[in-house]
Structure formats: C-alpha cells, structure tokens
Structure 1
Amino acid sequence: MTTDSTASDDQAIVEPTPPALDEASILGRNKRLLLSALRQVGIAQVTITYVGMGDSGGVEGVEAAMPEGTCFKAMAPVTLHTQRATYSDGAWQTTEVEHSVPIEQALRDFADEIVDWLHGGWENGDGASGSVVFDCAKDSVRIEHTAYFTDSDYEETVL
C-alpha cells in the first residue's frame, strides 16, 4: 500500500471560482433592470425554483417576498434586452433588441438563461434542481444549484 505524505485530512478543498457575469452583457444588464423593477414595486426578494432530469426541465415556480398587504403583480411589464438571430445572405446576423414582457415571465426567462449559462446541460441524465434568488437589499442574484448523479463503486478482489 502507498500513501501520499503531502496530503493531509485537514487541508481545505479549493473550489473553482465561478465565472463572473459581465455587467455589460445582456444578462448583466437584464439583472440590473430586473432588480430595479422589483425594488420599484416594493419587493425585497424573489425566489425562482427549477428542476429537471432525463433531458427536460425548467422553472417550477416564482415566489416573491413582499410587504404585508401587497400582492405580486405578475403581469406588470418590464423592458429587457435580448439577442435575435436571423440568417441572411449565407450568414447568421445577430442584433440586440428590447422587448417588454410581464415581470414574472422575465424572471422565469432570466432564471432559465443564467442556469444554462452556469450549468449547461443541467437537465440531462439524473438532472438537477435549485433556486435563483433575487435579493434587492443586497443588489444581487444568487444561484443555488444541486446536481444529481448516479454513483457506483466497483471493487474486485482476488485472493
């Protein structure tokens, strides 16, 4: 039997640094627009949950933390940026356009896009689930992601 004398049980495992969201990108600008729209209607926090497996998945629900006596106006419009692609003269052309959608749909779309950006293919195989949390007080969006997988441990012993 061999042992690695350089590794110790008390060494911290270093997690990879997640990619930074370019604030000038479409996702970065839409993040700011959504946080601003949520603050304007008095929402402190919104949690969008998602789940998927076996090649399909998506947003399951949107829950808003609001002051007592107010309700979430899911159909309130918000203007966001998107990229539109067209095929012309033998090449793909992309343009950025603004479009207005109900805020609940905008939150769902943003959650789908950001999870795909960070965890592409998350819905395949055993899948994954998680939450995208808009925290207006912290001016942040937090992605809580759990990936599922099947594990096996083969061992063969010949005596």
Structure 2
Amino acid sequence: MQDLDARRAHEARLKEAILNAARQAGVAHLRGEYSGAGDSGDHWEVSLEPDNPELDQDVTVELAESQFDAKSREYKTVLVETTLPLSELFDRYMEMVVESRHGGWENNEGGAGSLTIDVVEGTVTLEHTTYFEASETDTYAL
C-alpha cells in the first residue's frame, strides 16, 4: 500500500481483527520481538499470553497484497481474504507496523524492538531501537 492513510486504515482494521479474535480466544496479551542487522537477516518471535496452543485460533481477514496487473503493467494493491492462525496474523501485523514506521530497520547496523498488544486495554505499543555506529572527533589548534 503506497498511500500512508490507506496503510494506517489497513493497520487499524487488522488491529481490530486481532483484538476481537484474541478476546474470543481468551488471550490477554500478544507480544512480538524482532532484531536484525546487515547481512545477518532478521529474527521475529511471537508469543500469546497465556501460553496455550489451543488459543491460537484461525482468523479470517482481508490482507493487502501487491499484484502485478499485466494490462496496465503496474503493481496494484488488492485486499485478499485470508485465513491464518492468530499468531501469524499478529506476526504480519507487527511486520507491517515496524516497516511503516522504521522502513529498512534491518539494514546496516540494524535495530530491534517489540510490539505488545494489551487485549484488555485495547492498546498497542511499539518499542523500537535503532542501532548505529558513532564516532567522535576532537580537533585542537596547538
């Protein structure tokens, strides 16, 4: 999705779908952590609280996908109905949120962070750390 407003609206729809599914399943918190740098790739880990595999129920949502239109020779964003486990939906949501706010976070020195959804409060918190190499130069006229 190219348009920022459309991306944010899609994020809001996914957030509501995750909250509704989590409430129905009895999940209190969803937490994801990610890290990566340079050529090492990236690492994503998702957990549900309470930690019970039976709570990871399937959720049906519309996900934005980029598809090539051969007629116009352009990529277009379309919504595709998809069914996937709550943990995988949360993983995709987390990746979308991180990329939309810190695109390229995994490049060079990289970064890390976490995304937490408090299902009871209905809040989402993204905490992101950007890694960077620093240097300090001192110049003296003697």
What TM-score results when the alignment is normalised by the length of structure 1? 0.76
Q: Secondary structure at the match of 1:26?
A: helix
Shift of 1:94: 3.0
Q: Which has the higher helix share?
A: 2
CA displacement at 1:65 relative to structure 2: 1.9
Partners of 1:75 and 1:44 in 2: CA distance:
12
Contact 1:22–1:28 at 8 Å: present in 2 too?
Answer: no
Largest Rg, 1 or 2: 1
**RMSD over aligned Cα atoms:** 2.2
The 3 A distance-change label for structure 1 pair 143 and 102 is: same
Gapped runs of 5+ residues in structure 1? 1-19
Are residues 1:73 and 2:58 paired? Answer: no
Aligned to 1:37: 21
Identical aligned residues as a percent:
28
1:138 aligns with 2:121: yes
Gaps of 5+ in 2: none
Q: How many pairs does the alignment contain?
A: 136
The match for 2:42 among 54, 57, 81 is 57
Superposition pairs of residues 1-159 of structure 1, within 5 angstroms = 25-55=9-39, 56-59=41-44, 61-66=45-50, 71-73=52-54, 75-84=56-65, 85-92=67-74, 93-159=76-142
SS at match of 1:96: strand
**1:21–1:28: 8 Å Cα contact kept in structure 2?**
no
Give the TM-score of the pair, scaled to structure 2. 0.84
